[in-house]
Amino acid sequence: MPAEKNRQIAIVELPQGKLSESHFKLVESTVPEPHEGDALLKVRYISLDAANRAWMQGATYRDAIEAGQVMAGGAIAEVISSTAEGFKPGDLVFADTGWQEFAVLPAKQLTKLPSLEPMTHLLSVYGIAGLTAYFGLFEIGQPKEGETVVVSAAAGSVGSIVGQLAKMRGCRVVGIAGGKEKCDWLVKELGFDAAIDYKNEPVHKALKEACPKGIDVYFDNVGGDILEACLFRMNLFGRIACCGAVSQYDGDAPAHGPRGVPGLIVTKRLKMQGFIVMDFNDKRDQALKDLERWVGEGKIKVQEDVIEGLENTPKALIGLLAGENRGKRMIKVA
Amino acid sequence: MPAEKNRQIAIVELPQGKLSESHFKLVESTVPEPHEGDALLKVRYISLDAANRAWMQGATYRDAIEAGQVMAGGAIAEVISSTAEGFKPGDLVFADTGWQEFAVLPAKQLTKLPSLEPMTHLLSVYGIAGLTAYFGLFEIGQPKEGETVVVSAAAGSVGSIVGQLAKMRGCRVVGIAGGKEKCDWLVKELGFDAAIDYKNEPVHKALKEACPKGIDVYFDNVGGDILEACLFRMNLFGRIACCGAVSQYDGDAPAHGPRGVPGLIVTKRLKMQGFIVMDFNDKRDQALKDLERWVGEGKIKVQEDVIEGLENTPKALIGLLAGENRGKRMIKVA
C-alpha cells in the first residue's frame, strides 16, 4: 500500500484545564509498513469515550498519553494485509489503533470481531459500552426485583443500556442526565420510571421525589456532586458501581471527594466498588449472547451517534465531554 | 432495692463543636422499678467507644441521642432481680444500659454473657472490639498471605487486634497511631512490621516507605486525611474495610470526603465497604471460639485501659477521642 497517505490526529500538548481543539492537529504521514507478525489495519469506526480524556491526566488502567503522539483510541478496523497469526485480510478487529486512518499492530493487540450488521453495534451495545453496562450493573450492582436503581450520564452510551437492563430486572429506574430533551427521551423512549435534569434542578431534592424508597443501586458514571447527592439517599446495604468520573476528567484534578465518605459508607454499610470491563473477560461470551438476544427481542433499544470524518474527532470528543451526545458516539473514518 | 440511689450521667446539651465535660452532668435519681418482663441491672463496666460521640451527631445505625437523657452506652451488667424470661439474678449481660449505676431493661435488649475471667475481656477481645476486628478484617478485608495490611487507630481497641490477626494470616502489617510511645508498642510488643506516627510524620510519605509493595487491605477507623493518603497507595483490587471515622466525630461535620473518590476507586478497581459488628451475628459463635483459642495460645495480646468511677466517664470519653488510650478503654462502675 505504497502511495497512500495516512491521516492522523496528533496531540500538540496535553491539556492543563479544559480540552480544546488546539490541543490536537491533523498530520499526514505514510501508511506504516508491517513487520513479521503484524497486521496492517484500515480504521473504520473510532470509539469516543469519556475515558479518552482521563488518559490525558496520567496513568490509569493504561499508560498516560504523551504530547507528540497520535491520540490513542479504540476502533473497529479491517485487516488489509497480515502476517499476524490468526488474522487474514477482510477480518474485522477491535484494537487501540489511535486516531488515524491506518495502523500496524501485532496479533496480541487485536480482538477479532464477528461480522454483523450494523457494524456500529460492535462499538455500542456489543462493544465496551454494552459490556460495561452489563457487568457493572449485574456483577457489581446486583440489583434485585423491586429495588431502585439510579444511573448518571443516563443518556450516554453506558447509562442508556444500564437503565434498560435494570428495567428488565424488574427495578424502579431513575436516570440523571443534562437537559429536558434527554430526560424526556429516557422516560418516553427507553422506559425509565423517572429522569432528573441535573442542569435544571437540584439533584438531592429531585432524588427524594424520584426515589421515595431510597436508592439500592447507584451506577456512577460521573463522580463529584451527583455521587455525593446519591450517597445521602442510599439505603442500608446499598451498592455503588464506580464506572467513571466524567465530571472530573476535563479540567483540574478535583480538590476533594464527596461528603459522606466514609461516614455514610459505615453507617449505611454501603459497598462502593470500581471496575473496568476487562475485569470480566471470562464472562464475555455469555454477556454478548444475552445482549444479542435482548436487542433481537426489542428489549434493548440501541442509540448511536455517528459523526463522519477523522478530522472531526477532536471536536466530537470535546462535545461528548460537554454531554452533547445521546447514546454511543463514534467517528466513521472509512 | 428501695433506699439505694442511682447515680447517672445525663447530657446537658449536645455538642456543636468539640465535646467537653460541660456537656454532661452527674445526677442522682432513685433506682428504677422493673415492670413485668424486665430485669433490674447493676452496671459493672461501661464500654467507651468513639461511636458514642458519633451518636451525638444524629441518627446512625441507632437513633440519635438527645439532650436531657442519660448518656447512652453499652456495658457489662449483673442481673439483680428479674421477671425477664431467661435471666436470673447473678447472670452477666451486655446491654445498652447508659451511663448509670442501675438500669431496667426488657429481655430482648439483653445479651447473656458467659462467665470468664477477667470479666473485662467481655468488653475487649471477646466484645464488640474483638468481633469488629475479626469480621472487618476477615469478611470485608479478606487478606491473603503475603499481602500488606494497614490499620489506623492501630493502638486502639479494634486496631490493636486487627494488626495481630493480620500477622497471624501471614501479612505484612503497618499500623498508624499517634505518638512514638504507641508506635514503639505496636512494633515491639504486638509484632507489627512497622508503625507510622501520624502526629509527627507525613502519612503519605511514611506509607511509601512502610508499604514498598503498596497496600492490599486498609482497615479504616478514622476517615479523613489518613483514608485519603491510603487510597493513593492502594494496589489494584485492594479492599478498604470502613469501620469508623473517628477523625470526623468530634467537631463540625467534615466539609468534604477524601480526594481519589471515585477516581482511584475506578482505576484501581477498589472495593470500599462499610460494616458494623451486628451484621455478622450469625457467625459470632465461631468468631468467639477462634478468639478464645488465640488468646489462650498467646497469639493475641489483650490490652485494656480501665478507669474507675462513673463520675470519670465523660472525661474518659473525651480523652479517648483525643487518642489517649491504648487498647480497650472502659469504666469500672462497681
Domain limits for position A10: 5-124+303-332
Mean pLDDT of chain A: 95
pLDDT tens sequence across B5-27? 999 999 999 998 899 999 999 99
DSSP calls for B154-196 = TTBTTHHHHHHHHHHTT-EEEEEESSHHHHHHHHHTS--SEEE
**CB-CB neighbors (< 8 A) of A270 in chain B:** 273-274
Pairing of strands B148-152, B215-220: parallel
Residue A97: which of A310, A285, A246, A250 has the closest Cα? A310
Q: Are B241 and B141 in contact (CB under 8 A)?
A: yes
At A59 the pLDDT is: 76
Residue of A232, A235, A242, A281 to mutate when probing chain B, most B C-beta within 10 A: A242
Residue B239: which of B269, B271, B261, B275 has the closest Cα? B271
Q: Which among A242, A259, A269 is the nearest to B274, CB-wise?
A: A269
**CB-CB neighbors (< 8 A) of B260 in chain A:** 257
Cβ of A263 within 8 Å of Cβ of B245? The answer is: yes
Residue of B222, B249, B266 to mutate when probing chain A, most A C-beta within 10 A: B266
Distance of CA A54 to the CA centre of its chain: 12
* Within-domain flag for A294: no
* Within-domain flag for B286: no
User: What's the Cα-to-Cα distance from A245 to each of A57, A81, B268, rounded to whole Å?
Assistant: 12, 39, 13
At B6 the pLDDT is: 97
Residues A133 and A250 in one domain: yes
End-to-end Cα separation, chain B, in angstroms? 16
Q: DSSP 3-state assignment of B259?
A: coil
Q: State the CATH number of the domain containing residue B106.
A: 3.90.180.10
- Which residue in chain A is spatially nearest to B63 when comparing CA positions? A267
Residues B116 and B151 in one domain: no
Q: Are B333 and B162 in contact (CB under 8 A)?
A: no
CA distance B18 to B250: 5
Structural domain count, chain B? 2
Smallest Cα distance from A85 to chain B, Å: 32
* Within-domain flag for B289: no
The mean pLDDT value for B122-130 works out to 96
pLDDT tens sequence across A94-114? 999 999 999 999 999 999 999
**CB-CB neighbors (< 8 A) of B227 in chain A:** 261-262
Residues A138 and A120 in one domain: no
At B332 the pLDDT is: 98
pLDDT tens sequence across A4-23? 899 999 999 999 889 999 99
pLDDT at B213 over 90: yes
* Within-domain flag for B57: yes
* Within-domain flag for A297: no
Q: Is the pTM of this model over 0.80?
A: yes
